[in-house]
Structure 1
Amino acid sequence: MQVIYRIKLPGPAILGEGKPENQNHAIIFTRGEGLQTIDMNQDNYMEEALKMRNLLQEFLKKRDGVRYPTILGLREHIFTGSVSSLAWFMSNRETSFVTIGQRLLADPLKVRFHYGHPDVFDRLFHLTRGGVSKASKTINLSEDIFAGFNSTLREGNVTHHEYIQVGKGRDITVLTVYVFLYSRLYLVLSGLEEGLNKQPGLRDKKPLQVALAPQSFVQIGFLMVLPMFMEIGLGRGFRTALSEFILMQLQLASVFFTLSLGALRLYSMEVQNTGLLVVGFVVFHAKFAENYRLYSRSHFVKGLELMILLIVYQIFGQSYRGSIAYVLITISIWFIVCTWLFAPFLFNPSGFEWQKIVDDWTDWNKWINNRGGIGVPPEKSWESWWEQEQDHLRHSGKRGIAAEILLALRFFIYQYGFVYHLAITKHTKRFLVYGISWMVIFLILFVMKIVSVGWRKFSADFQLMFRLIKGLIFVTFVTILVTLVALPHMTMQDIIVCILAFMPTGWGLLLIAQACKPLVHRAGFWASVRTLARGYEIVMGLFIFTLVAFLAWFPFVSEFQTHMLFNQAFSRGLQISRILGGQRNGRSSRNKD
């Protein structure tokens, strides 16, 4: 079939830009007089197809009595608007910023010079005039605008009439944040950023900071709010638009949208429906362990990863980079970190009541320490939940497993970069140093394996001996740590760097071990992997819980949450339930007396 129907390109085999080249190649396989350009994430509705006859009649009428239309624009319907609040917000932005803009360009301005996807082309017109796109390498990069230019210059007309609409799905992508931060990590660990900052032309950073200030303001997202503000202003008045915008910010709408963003990222990246696609707005108190199960992999783990990236970037760049430049570069990402770590508790009713925090702590301890097994549900045991979180790997196939391992390798970048920035290795760049760091890691894992085996075999019969061994191991590690601190070339920053190096490395090893579970299980190390994973979960849980408990110490935090984030009826009901709960507790204590 790829010989019979092969198309030989004229001249030497030098391909142009991929997208327009493919479009021009595909147009010869089409039929009819009209050609509609549709993206991969678009679809048509059956009822809209009934209006296609009316749409095609537009090609028979001259625009302003001068030219026949050659490209007819249509509107998009963002069908993912009902998925979540964030998708609804993006749908409104598309309507106000794209659709209204296209209407204005076509009529009355008469300056619409490009096509969109779902526009309809006069196929015969463009077949005889070089195709639907200009495909010259690097020159005609944006195929849509050059198609419009080509059509207009050859006595055609680009217009916009909304006879029909085509559905379109929008993804929100978080990959750019990771690409940005890991690129910055490479620059700061390799020394390139320091070298660039020492260039004479970059020493005076005030012009750069002046340029970054408005950029960071826009980066936070205020520019994306502008179309919605204009839409509400034109429809219901600008005073209403301003009051609604202020109220949305007081009710932490930006925090909620960013929270939804993390759920959408998990759904699109891991292709497993965990129920997180729609981040619900609950009307009952969810316990800390339940929130941890829901948001651990989609928000907490990713938030901590971004936080470590930001801390590392600051540690290694603070000697030559100003604090203002750091804030302007990273403020929006710090907002994402804080949102992903704490937003699930902000939108959790009674999330900062002290008594609820105490009960949540008891429930969390019970859940994290319970043994799993057959018949034990994930909400009762961490082990069952942890095993369930890895179920998708059994159906991923070899490509999926390879992708998991490849993505996990990014956590080894920390260790490789940190080892050669320690004060004691400042004058050597030998690869042996990196190998020694791996020996230290394997030694720690070996000791953990001994402790795990000893706990299973000797904890019942030789409790005193086993506790003595554990004490000796602890004293040995403390001695090593104190010795390292006492070294003349070892600084406290080096200690922090070592901790930050080993934590991502251990997490990367965990991810690889989970991806290769059958092999690890046969080798007899799965129990050790589970022990290491439990340790990481405990550290993450303690870190998040400590900050939530600190906020719960202040009563005004809970009051603000109740009055600002929920409606009046719910707030009154919550206050009544508190009073009744207090009365019940009082009666029970009197009965005991």
Structure 2
Amino acid sequence: MSIQELSFVSLGQRMLALFHVRQHYGHPDIFDKLFAMSCGGTAKASKGVNLSEDIFAGFNSTLRGGRVSHEEFIQVGKGRDVGMQQLALFEAKLSSGAGEAVISRDAMRMASRLDFFRLHSWFYGNLGWYFTQSMTVVGVYFFIYGKVYMALSGMDSYFLEKGGLGIAGTLNTSWAFQFGFLLVVPVIAVVGVEQGFRHGFTYLLWNVMTLGPIFFTFQMGTRMHYFDRTLIHGGAKYRATGRGFTIKHEKFAELYRFYAFSHFYRGVELLFLLLMFYAYGTFSWCNCSWRLDADFYNNVEPTDLEWRTRCYDDHYQSCVLPTNQNYGIMSYSLWIIAATWMWAPFFFNPSGLDWDKIIEDYNDWQNWLKTTNDSADSWFGWWSNEQEYLEHTTRGARFITGVRKLRFLLVAIGMYLNMMYNAYFERPNRIITSDDDMLTYALSGLVIVIFLLLICCGYIASRVTKKMSMKQRKLRKIKFLLSCCCFLISMLSLTVLSVGNLFAIFILLFVAVYWFMQMCILRLQYHHIVVRALARAYDRAVGWIVFGPIMIVSMFLPFISSFQQRVMFNNAFTSGLEVSKLFAHDVAPAQVVKVKRVSKKKKNRDD
């Protein structure tokens, strides 16, 4: 955050003032009281718009012929946010305020009255900054969804053979620099001008070693989420951040409540799309004509499948190997983004990789998921609070959100069509091993029907009170029998379908159910028992995807925790923390032994 403040307060304000597009930015600025009072004041008649009252004060001054200057006398550092959640709240407040300011009349007047060069400086130095950050993230999803849709439809192999996807590698490489690395470049200029470029280069290396690019990439996702939600649904509000020195360990349940909608869901979605691209994408093709083996085919043109199979078997070195594309090179930048959005909060959380803290976080997370009341510390209370904005949004905003959610349905449809094409045209012997096609449809339909019956039983069980013990026992027996039937049918399906395609059917069903849940939420049915059960199961799955690797790393690689503490704190504080851990481990066993002795004495006394 100190790097951001140095760039924003020093370099940014100098350049904006030079181009006469600087606006007011909060506490350091001094207002001309008489000028502001004669122009109607600085506040707006809306608490949502008034969230960025300093920016609107600058708009008022600029529109009335005034100028907001930047005079430097002394450079000092003020109290700033140092915790990860404090920084996220600060960015959320600024992004929400920018979302409200974009749709205001003041921004429209500024855009229509500034000259061409000043307009561009104002756009990229003010509200356009958040717009371009959001468009960068949206571009990532357009890129990966386009690759997945083309892979599912089979068009990627066609365009690759024609040489029509050459720009994909360039776009993938550019995102690796846009997410995190390019945001550090202004800092080199500031430190280089003030203290010398040698010191600036050293400062850059220190920033990279302390995981600065990961922090900037994570904050870009924060800006995009809150700017996008405010732009579509509104609802900007003030968020208190605080200025305290944060060394408190945040539990995983708190991190999940804070980052689920803005980062964890998006990171898991990006991870799923990357795996889909790996499973269905085309990374090599036959670059030779069938006339290479014209004598084998007696000068009769074979089908594409026949020639492709023979080309891969007999001419791999000469025709296929030169066309190989490395999946890692094509997608490494998106993997970095997905990993950052899912696991960056743990790296910037004090003792976030400590095994003892991980166990406590796991127990707290499980208790949070199991809590059924509507308090703020329960899953249901958090879920209801996160969906409240839909109660006050417009039909147009819901329609836009619904159109966005169609991407999940399109993925499910693409998986189904790809499976049917492979089953009957491309690889029939690998997909279906039985000649009875009706058996395939019957087994698949039966699995879906039993899955729906299980959901209905869960809904009925939630309506049965605890006093009706007999009905509860019957429902448990029904659910157990249905689960056994579903398992047996799944095993029976292995005689008809391959394991990979049976797994693809379950993934297809999962994506379709998730799209259905999102549509129910948009129709304000998120309090329904079935929707809540699906949402809780989805949160549990996302939590395991995010928290599982952290548990494995903290269990088998304990030195990562020491490295993380050294990155966050200085050497003296890290040494003190290690000593306190040693004392804690020395005291804990003695206390346990004492408790055991006391309990043993009590037991003998009772005997």
TM-score (norm 2): 0.64
Verify the 8 A CA contact 1:44 1:167 in the aligned structure 2. no
Q: Partner residue of 1:267?
A: 226
Alpha-carbon contact 2:151-2:282 (below 8 Å) kept? no
Q: Is 1:408 aligned with 2:405?
A: yes
Residue 389 of structure 1 deviates from its aligned partner by 1.3
CA contact (8 A) 1:310 1:330 kept: yes
Report the secondary structure of 1:547's partner residue.
helix
Within the candidate set 400, 423, 428, 1:426 is matched to: 423
Write 1 or 2 for the structure with the bigger share of helix.
2
C-alpha contact (below 8 Å) 2:148/2:276 kept by paired residues: yes
- Describe how 1:151-230 pairs up with structure 2 within 5 A: 170-171=129-130, 172-173=133-134, 174-199=137-162, 201=163, 215=174, 218-219=177-178, 221-230=180-189
Shift in CA distance, 503/44, structure 1 to aligned 2, threshold 3 Å: same
Cα distance in 2, alignment partners of residues 279 and 428 from structure 1: 62
Match for residue 392 of structure 1? 389
- Distance of aligned partners of 1:340 and 1:46 in 2 relative to their CA distance in 1, 3 Å threshold: closer
Taking the aligned partners of 2:90 and 2:473, their CA distance within structure 1 comes to: 62
List aligned pairs for 1:121-140, cutoff 5 A.
none
C-alpha distance in 1, partners of 2:502/2:249?
Answer: 40
CA distance in 1, matches of 2:548, 2:282: 28
Distance 2:580 2:566 in 1: 15
- CA–CA distance in 1 between the matches of 2:561 and 2:594? 30
Partner residue in 2 for 1:295 = 259
Kindly indicate whether structure 1 or structure 2 has the higher relative contact order, using CA contacts under 8 Å at least 6 residues apart.
2
Q: Deviations over 1:330-350 (max 9, x none)?
A: 222111100111111111111
| 1:92-130 CA distance string (max 9 Å, x none) | xxxxxxxxxxxxxxxxxxxxxxxxx99998xxxxxxxxx
Aligned-pair CA distance for 1:233: 2.4
Superposed CA offset, 1:197-227 (max 9, x none)? 122x57xx9x989967965664555455444
Alignment partners' CA distance in 2, 1:85 and 1:118: 30
Q: Find 1:479's aligned residue among 477, 488, 495.
A: 488
Task: Map Cα deviations across residues 372-429 of structure 1 (whole Å, 9 max, x no partner).
Answer: 24xxx221x2112111111111111322332332222221011100011116863389
Q: CA deviation at 1:273?
A: 5.2
Alignment coverage as a number of residue pairs: 452
Q: Report the Cα distance in structure 1 between the residues aligned to 2:238 and 2:425, rounded to whole angstroms.
A: 50
In 2, Cα distance between equivalents of 1:532 and 1:252 = 36
Provide the residue aligned with 1:284 in structure 2.
Answer: 248
Residue 405 of structure 2 contacts residue 515 of structure 2 at CA under 8 Å; is this kept in 1?
Answer: yes
Task: Write the mapping of 1:296-335 to structure 2, written as runs, cut at 5 A.
Answer: 296-318=260-282, 320=284, 324-335=325-336
Amino acid at match of 1:453: I
Distance in 2, matches of 1:274 and 1:50, equals 26
Q: 1:120 and 1:318 mapped to 2: Cα distance?
A: 51
Question: Which amino acid letter does the alignment assign opposite residue 531 of structure 2?
Answer: V
Tell me which residue corresponds to 1:366: 367
1:507 equivalenced with 2:514 (yes/no): yes
- Equivalents in 1 of 2:484, 2:207: separation in Å? 54
- CA shift digits 1:444-483 (9 cap, x unpaired): 2342122331365388335654443222212211122222
Distance, in Å, in 1 between the alignment partners of 2:452 and 2:192 is 61
CA distance in 1, matches of 2:498, 2:345: 38
The CA deviation at 1:580 is: 4.1
> In 2, are the aligned partners of 1:404 and 1:511 still within 8 Å (CA)?
no
Contact 1:416-1:434 at 8 Å conserved across structures: no
Preserved CA contact (<8 Å) 1:423 1:494: no
Describe the SS at the equivalent of 1:474: helix
Higher strand proportion, which one?
Answer: 1
CA separation in 2, counterparts of 1:210 and 1:536?
33
Q: 2:75 maps to what in 1?
A: none
Q: Residues 195 and 552 from structure 1, CA distance in 2 versus in 1: closer, same or farther, beyond 3 angstroms? A: same
2:424 alignment partner, SS class: coil
Name 1:113's counterpart in structure 2: none
Q: Once superposed, what is the RMSD of the aligned Cα atoms?
A: 4.5
Instruction: State the match for 1:17 in structure 2.
Output: none
Task: Answer yes or no: is 1:558 the counterpart of 2:561.
Answer: yes
Specify the alignment match of 1:151 in structure 2: none
Q: Is the 8 A contact 1:552 1:558 kept in 2?
A: yes
Deviation at 1:311, TM superposition (A): 0.9
Contact 2:391/2:524 (<8 A) preserved: no
Counterparts of 2:156 and 2:329, CA distance in 1:
16
Q: TM-score, normalised by structure 1?
A: 0.65
Change (3 A) 1:120 1:370: closer
* Residue 501 of structure 2: aligned partner: 494
- Partner of 1:342: helix, strand, or coil? helix
1:79-158 aligned within 5 A: none
Residues 329 and 279 from structure 1, CA distance in 2 versus in 1: closer, same or farther, beyond 3 angstroms?
farther
The answer as to whether partners of 1:229 and 1:241 remain within 8 angstroms in 2 is yes
Match of 1:102?
none
Do structure 1's residue 589 and structure 2's residue 553 form an aligned pair? no
1:168 CA displacement: 5.4
Q: Which 5+ residue runs of structure 1 have no aligned equivalent?
A: 1-39, 56-73, 90-116, 122-131, 133-142, 149-159
Match of 2:531 in 1: 529
Question: 2:179·2:217 contact (CA, 8 Å) conserved in 1?
Answer: no
CA distance in 2, matches of 1:50, 1:425: 63
Q: Alpha carbons of 1:334 and 1:292: their partners in 2 closer, same or farther (altered >3 Å)? A: same
Give the aligned partner of residue 103 of structure 2.
none
Distance change (3 Å), C-alpha of 1:532 and 1:48: closer
Q: 1:333 is matched by which residue type in structure 2?
A: L
Unaligned runs of 5+ in 2: 1-48, 73-79, 92-109, 286-322, 427-437, 598-607
Does the C-alpha gap of structure 1 residues 47 and 515 become closer, same or farther in structure 2, counting only changes over 3 Å?
closer
> Contact (CA 8 Å) 1:263, 1:279: kept in 2 or not?
no
Q: Deviations over 1:548-574 (max 9, x none)?
A: 110111210110111112234542443
Task: Calculate percent identity across the aligned residue pairs.
Answer: 25
